[in-house]
Amino acid sequence: MSAGVTYSDEQARALGLRSSDSSGEGLARLRDIIGSATAPPMTVAALCEEYGEVCESAVDPLEIASALEFEGLGDQAVRERYGYSDVFALADEMYVQVPRQPAEPTPPEDPWHIGRFQPVLHGLLYGLPAVCFPAAAVLLGGPGAHAILIVALLASWSASQSLASLGYQRLGRTGDRGQAQRVLRAGLLAGLVLVTGILAIAMLVLHARPPVALFGAGEAAYMLGACVLLVLGAERWLLLVLLPGVLGSSLFLALGRPRQLDHASWAALAATAALAVVAALVATRRRSRPQPGGGRFRLVTGTELRNMLPAAAFGLLAAGLLAFPVVSGVHGRGGINVGALLATLPLSLSMGAAEWSLLRYRRRTRDVLRSTRDLRTFGRRARLALLTALAQYLAAAIALTAAATWIAFTTGLVRPGAALIYPELVVYLALGSAMFIALALQALGVRAVPVAACAAALAFELTWRELGLIVQLAACVGLLVVLGGYALGALSTAIRHAF
């Protein structure tokens, strides 16, 4: 095979060969030169250095053996060069000599990343409907009006929480947006029928006027429609939905609530409720056909219904805790509770801050989980992250409450010397903080404890309602302490943040 290999004088001189050797002994020397340039290192230490990256990240000597064989290093070469019986024996020695230093994996995509203005938008969406209530209060009256509105609030919160739970479960379980749209559309229509039926019965029992029940039905329509849009990520449509009701109510209040604008104000409120339902129906249109072989579609499964129950119960109890001070009054005997009414708007707006703080908390604990190898250290840092998130929410809630109070005093809506305003504001700040902790627990899979704690707090308020503000303060502060103490323990375990 070598007979045809010849070299010029210049090539031979460059390789250190004599001209006469270019086809004999010189060729053997050439082979030695080429072989020495491409052969693996002659010592195990040098081999470990060359394959350092493979050895550091290997979880088993077989990985090193595979890399050596892939580069053409067989058993015979290993015996001749390194004195080991085979490639696997050499790989075992290299695995022992090189300490494990695996490369950090590429960080996964952040699941808790949100838009910069999304929490602000959600805060406005939670808070702007509160502007409609002062205008509606002038239009609502007669026997049973307050009771009807409380029934509407309780039914709407429970129905909307149930609907949101079903929508998120279907999105998370199948990832099929078309299926989620069908579930949400059916749930929206069922919720409207259910709440309307409840309000019709309550109207007959309480002998309330039909306009009051209609307003309650409109409230439910908005909350259910808004729920659908939020689950599907179409919340920006809610700004247009709210436009007629908020502008109409604001204008009605700014003009001194003139009687000749009663019907116009009613029309504006009705437009917002109707637009919410229409927007939800549009958002739940099926834009794609179900994929073939995807199995028989079930509107709602038994598992989804069971998982929905804690959400429904929490919505009902949360609405009850929010409404109780308004209904009970400062002294526990009914009447106008100025502090509770004043706290309603800032507490609603603070839900945007709650969402922002909760998402930052999830991102912070995710980073701690990735960077901490000691469980005790993780638990300590996770508790600190929870306290930081609670402090962030509370600071935002205090700022919003202070701003709302200043505006109310400046515009003359509330007299600065009104009795017991400030203690009632403390009640709602404690309640808002407790709701934030409850949301954090539910987001991380703890559902029974928030429901049980809220039920106990509401039962305590109902049992000792004649104590007025004292029992309200004790119940809300106690709820915050119980949920906060439990969360500091339950949410400090790494398994809660693994998914």
Which amino acid is residue 493, in one-letter code? T
What's the pLDDT score for residue 36? 43
Helix, strand, or coil (residue 414): coil
Does 215 score more than 90 pLDDT? no
234 pLDDT more than 80: yes
Does 417 fall in a domain?
yes
Please classify residue 352 by burial: count the beta carbons closer than 10 Å to its beta carbon, then call 0-12 exposed, 13-18 middle and 19+ buried: buried
Residue 279 has pLDDT above 80, yes or no: yes
Contact 374, 367 (CB under 8 A): no
Query: What is the Cα–Cα distance from 286 to 180, expressed in whole angstroms?
Result: 10
Alpha carbon distance 234, 223 (integer Å): 14
How is 90-142 classified by DSSP, letter by letter?
HHHHHHHHSPP-PPPPPPPP-TT---TTHHHHHHHHHHGGGGHHHHHHHH--S
Asked if residue 74 belongs to a domain, the reply is yes
If asked whether residues 201 and 175 sit together in one domain, one would say yes
Q: How far apart are CA 360 and CA 481, in angstroms?
A: 22
CA distance 49 to 59: 18
- Say whether both 351 and 413 belong to one domain: yes
Place of tokens 């029974």: 448
d(CA 5, CA 465): 107
Do 338 and 454 reside in the same domain of the chain? yes
Of 78-92, 299-313, 322-336, 372-386, least confident by mean pLDDT is: 322-336
In a domain, 313, yes or no: no
Owner of token pair 């947006």: 177
Residue 430, classed as helix, strand or coil, is helix
Same domain? 274 vs 416: no
Task: Identify residue 67 by its one-letter amino acid code.
Answer: A
Q: Do residues 324 and 281 both lie within one domain? A: no
**Do 244 and 143 share a domain, yes or no?**
yes
* Tokens 């695995």 sit on residue: 95
Residues 342 and 484 in one domain: yes
Q: Say which DSSP state 299 is in.
A: S
HEC string for 330-368: CCCCCCCCHHHHHHHHHHHHHHHHHHHHHHHHHHHHHHH
pLDDT score, position 184: 92
Of 124-128, 311-315, 371-375, 488-492, the range with the lowest mean pLDDT is: 124-128
Residue 404 half-sphere exposure toward CB, CA atoms < 13 A: 25
Q: Which residue has the tokens 């249109």?
A: 285
34 in a domain, yes or no? Answer: yes
What total of structural domains would you count in the chain? 3
Residues 6+ apart with CB under 8 A from 118: 355
412 shares a domain with 336: yes
Instruction: Let me know whether 76 and 192 are in one domain.
Output: no
- Comparison of pLDDT for 106 and 68, the residue scoring more: 68
Q: Whats the size of the chain, residue-wise?
A: 499
**Per-residue confidence (pLDDT) for residue 189, from 0 to 100:** 94
What residue numbers bound the domain in which 15 lies? 9-97
pLDDT on residue 450? 95
Residue 111 has pLDDT above 90, yes or no: no
- Rounded (5°) CA angle 363-492-307: 80
Inside any domain, residue 41: yes
Judgement on whether residues 91 and 139 belong to the same structural domain of the protein:
no
In a domain, 307, yes or no: no
At residue 206 the predicted structure's pLDDT band, cuts being 50, 70 and 90, is confident
| Residue at 156 is within a domain | yes
Is residue 457, in this structure, part of any structural domain at all?
yes
**Do 164 and 243 fall into the same domain?**
yes
Last residue of a domain, one of 64, 97, 130: 97
Task: Tell whether 166 and 57 lie within a shared domain.
Answer: no
Q: What is the pTM of this model?
A: 0.71
> Which residue blocks in 232-337 are alpha helix, DSSP H?
237-254, 262-283, 302-328
